[in-house]
Amino acid sequence: MPKLDDYRRKRNEGATNEPFGDDGGPTTSTLTGAFVVHLHDATRRHYDLRLEVGGVLASFAVPRGPSLDPDAKHLAMKTEDHPFEYLEFEDVIPSGQYGAGPMIVWDRGFVEYLEGPAEEEITNDKLHVRLHGHKLRGAFALVKLKKSAKGDEWLLFKKADEHASAVRDIVAELPRSVLSGLTVEELARRERIGEELVKRAARANGASRTSVDELFRPTANVLASARPPSDVTPRDVRYDAELDGLRVLATKHEDVVALHLEDARGALHPIEAFYPDVVRALRSLPPARLALDGTLVAFDASGRPSFARLAERVTKKRRGDLHVVHAMPVAFVVEDVLAIGDVDVRGATFETRRELVEALLPAPGVVRASPALAGDLDTVRASCASLGIGSVIAKPCGARYGDGWTRHPTGTSQRPRVAIDHGADDARAALRRVDVTNRSKVFFPESRLTKGDLCDYYAAVGDVILPYLHARPIILVRYPDGIEGKSFFQWNVPAGMPPWVRTLTFRSEDEGTMRRGFFVDDPTTLLYVSNLGNIPIHILACRAPDLAQADFFTIDFDVKQSELKHAVTLARTLKDVLDAAGLPGFAKTSGQTGLHVLCPLGPGQSFDTARALAELLGRVLVERHPDLATMERVVGRRGPKVYVDTGQTGATRAIVAPYSVRAVAGATVSTPLTWDEVEPGLDPKAFTLRTVPQRLAKRGDPMKDLLHVRPDVPGAVAKLAALLGRA
């Protein structure tokens, strides 16, 4: 039985925002993995401990949460396995859905199974683990109750070690998310909290709202540097330990996070592909825009910053070892802030900027505030030296960003520095590679076509399909188990989405809510969505940034109650009418049984105009072929006629993209046709993911001018109105 059957059965895949990943591989010997503890404010507040076992997350609901006291044995109800992507999940599950309510990532890290593979341990009703989290550390045990009625009651408790404490109440002491720094109560107000932080920044003395674009698209390094100390020491200073890591400028613009590293020649390199854990945490911080000055740090076994360990992680990550992200976590220690929202705070005082950093990052976590060290220089130097820190930066209070910063060695011998090779540009590009999982999973059973075949098809037609997708919000329809399994629509950015996917935030006119959508603008993202099990690609008739303008409209000939030959007659008549009105039109098979005609509008047209034109054309067709065509919306009243559907145009109405595969037997493709091909012998079933690439190679794309022509729309409206009047 697929491991996630229970998970999927409990959830409405189209309505929840939770991830729906793979079932994981058939592994049987998990010795290490990732873990997460969610704080979930559902009907009853509880903590969910989830441990990676065989590619999915074994999950336990712990009402009282974990305790550091070995004598506190807390009930842990074993619940359904969750997909691996759930590690990243922090969001509010919509009301009405299973588990509705906010859920934060209360802790996250790396787990070792101490007494053998996790699969065997669970079979034997126990789990002995060592956790390496931000909050939970050391050995814990989970033991199933012998008298458990339903077989799902376990006990979670701390085992005695140096991390145990009978005094500390860890869940009360550290209530916040290790990703966003928010409490579970604050999560639903995330955007407002972000706006409040921006307002707070704007009120700071010395803050300015002049353009901060240079910080978000930096062409040169904007980070300040420290000088050697001079004789004149400012009276009031604070110190930042210079940690053994990589100093970077981190920027966040909506969902797009970048980490900029300066090379020896002063050029900036984006290195975020190597640090998806840091990207995920930066993305979840409340303000929509941020520019931060900080250091990427990996820690050795004793908890000290280790440059060698950072280098080791980058090397392994470059070799494609994804596990390394969890096994060797990286923190981003923030020393300063340059911008919050559109407010440049570099002119504010050191104390003000540090207060902003601490307000932004109130919790221990992946992104954390550097502690500003006070005291006299010798004391600070000595305590840093004892921690193996080679230097401290003195920053004068009351001074703006970078003013009067000086570097002071602590006297400890610096370990020799290894070089970290984030790789040449092609190596970085390789990190954008998508590894197709479960290639051999059968997606189209009757034709034995697999997920690998689907991904190969989209890769083969990428050059042709991508121009139709460019800058358009995309709607996925995912089939994780192929066309005979469940499917679900997805407008929002998928959980665990890589940092390089372009996203946008827009208001949904249907619901008045903000959506976070994304673009499929490049071959890698196309492969990425294919690997998510997406079969058809749906597009809107508008392009960012102006999502209120329609650049084409669609007339859909639905032949479910008629025959294709009649749709052909109607489409040819439509072509005549379009010619008479001076409008271009392009035909394609729907990929199922019918036909679509797409009519380009060029720039600057509203959806109202698009809808009105489609409606006029539909009426002309019904008048000319009353025996073949109907625009009747009620199915039962249509009779054996072709339904001319002109309602496919609207700000949130999606159509299946040209060259999109359909989730039907035979893996047919919605295929653009020349008008010569729109004839009674047309066989839409002949166009499949097997045949379309050769067809394209031989005949090119008959629809390629769709997005380039600029028809005279007002002229066409006038001509059509006249035609209709005459009919």
Interface segment toward Mn ion; rule CB under 5 A; list 40-48, 226-234, 288-296, 541-549: 40-48
**CB closer to Mn ion out of 188 and 327:** 188
Interface segment toward Mn ion; rule CB under 5 A; list 34-42, 170-178, 232-240, 368-376: 34-42
Report how far residue 128's alpha carbon sits from residue 246's, in angstroms, rounded to the nearest whole number.
36
Binders of Mn ion among residues 507 to 566 (CB under 5 A) are: none
Helices 607-624 and 564-581 cross at an angle (nearest 10°) of: 120
Least Å distance between CB 528 and Mn ion? 28
Interface segment toward Mn ion; rule CB under 5 A; list 44-52, 80-88, 184-192, 533-541: 44-52
Cβ atoms < 10 Å from Cβ of 674: 12
Give me the helices (H) in 361-450, please: 377-386, 425-431
Least Å distance between CB 440 and Mn ion? 33
Least Å distance between CB 42 and Mn ion? 6
Structure token pair of residue 340: 């919050």
Partners of residue 269 on adjacent β-strands: 261
Least Å distance between CB 175 and Mn ion? 17
Report how far residue 374's alpha carbon sits from residue 394's, in angstroms, rounded to the nearest whole number.
10
**Do 525 and 501 form a contact (C-beta atoms < 8 A)?**
yes
Interface segment toward Mn ion; rule CB under 5 A; list 32-40, 90-98, 362-370, 598-606: 32-40
Report how far residue 503's alpha carbon sits from residue 516's, in angstroms, rounded to the nearest whole number.
7
In the list 3, 8, 40, 78, the residue contacting Mn ion (rule: CB under 5 A) is: 40
Interface segment toward Mn ion; rule CB under 5 A; list 39-47, 183-191, 460-468, 655-663: 39-47
CA distance to 17, 250, 291, 338, 562, per residue, from 223 (Å)? 38, 10, 10, 9, 67
**CB closer to Mn ion out of 80 and 255:** 80
**CB closer to Mn ion out of 40 and 395:** 40
The type of residue at 200 is: R
Sign of the dihedral through C-alpha 627, 628, 631, 637: positive
**CB closer to Mn ion out of 88 and 240:** 88
Helices 713-726 and 564-581 cross at an angle (nearest 10°) of: 120
Structure token pair of residue 2: 């697929």
**CB closer to Mn ion out of 48 and 335:** 48
Interface segment toward Mn ion; rule CB under 5 A; list 23-31, 47-55, 411-419, 708-716: 47-55
Structure token pair of residue 355: 């207060």
Instruction: Look at strands 246-253 and 406-409 and give their pairing.
Output: unpaired
Least Å distance between CB 303 and Mn ion? 31
Least Å distance between CB 151 and Mn ion? 19
Report how far residue 96's alpha carbon sits from residue 43's, in angstroms, rounded to the nearest whole number.
11
Q: Which of 289, 315, 310, 274 is nearest to 498 (CA)?
A: 274
Interface segment toward Mn ion; rule CB under 5 A; list 41-49, 204-212, 264-272, 340-348: 41-49
**CB closer to Mn ion out of 45 and 710:** 45
**CB closer to Mn ion out of 48 and 255:** 48
**CB closer to Mn ion out of 48 and 551:** 48
Least Å distance between CB 46 and Mn ion? 6
In the list 48, 85, 262, 551, the residue contacting Mn ion (rule: CB under 5 A) is: 48
Least Å distance between CB 47 and Mn ion? 8
Sign of the dihedral through C-alpha 43, 287, 331, 229: negative
Least Å distance between CB 7 and Mn ion? 12
- For Mn ion, which residue has the nearest CB? 40
Binders of Mn ion among residues 678 to 717 (CB under 5 A) are: none
Cis peptide before 234 (omega within 30 of 0): no
Structure token pair of residue 563: 């025959």
Report how far residue 75's alpha carbon sits from residue 77's, in angstroms, rounded to the nearest whole number.
7
**CB closer to Mn ion out of 98 and 719:** 98
Which residues, at least 6 apart from 692, have a Cβ–Cβ distance to it below 8 Å?
457, 461, 659, 669, 671
CA distance to 299, 300, 320, per residue, from 315 (Å)? 16, 16, 9
Q: Which of 29, 40, 49, 259 is nearest to 133 (CA)?
A: 49
Least Å distance between CB 29 and Mn ion? 28
How many Å separate Cα 3 from the centre of its chain?
24
**CB closer to Mn ion out of 62 and 290:** 62
**CB closer to Mn ion out of 48 and 481:** 48
- Using CB under 5 A as the binding criterion, the count of chain residues that bind Mn ion stands at 2
**CB closer to Mn ion out of 175 and 602:** 175
Interface segment toward Mn ion; rule CB under 5 A; list 45-53, 135-143, 187-195, 707-715: 45-53
Which residues, at least 6 apart from 466, have a Cβ–Cβ distance to it below 8 Å?
520, 521, 522, 523, 526
Interface segment toward Mn ion; rule CB under 5 A; list 26-34, 48-56, 316-324, 381-389: 48-56
Structure token pair of residue 300: 């050795």
Least Å distance between CB 581 and Mn ion? 58
Least Å distance between CB 485 and Mn ion? 25
Q: Which of 624, 632, 619, 568 is nearest to 597 (CA)?
A: 568
Report how far residue 291's alpha carbon sits from residue 282's, in angstroms, rounded to the nearest whole number.
10
Least Å distance between CB 76 and Mn ion? 12
Binders of Mn ion among residues 623 to 662 (CB under 5 A) are: none
**CB closer to Mn ion out of 104 and 369:** 104
**CB closer to Mn ion out of 102 and 594:** 102
Least Å distance between CB 39 and Mn ion? 9
| Residue 293 found at the interface with Mn ion (CB under 5 A) | no
- The contact set with Mn ion (CB under 5 A) reads 40, 48
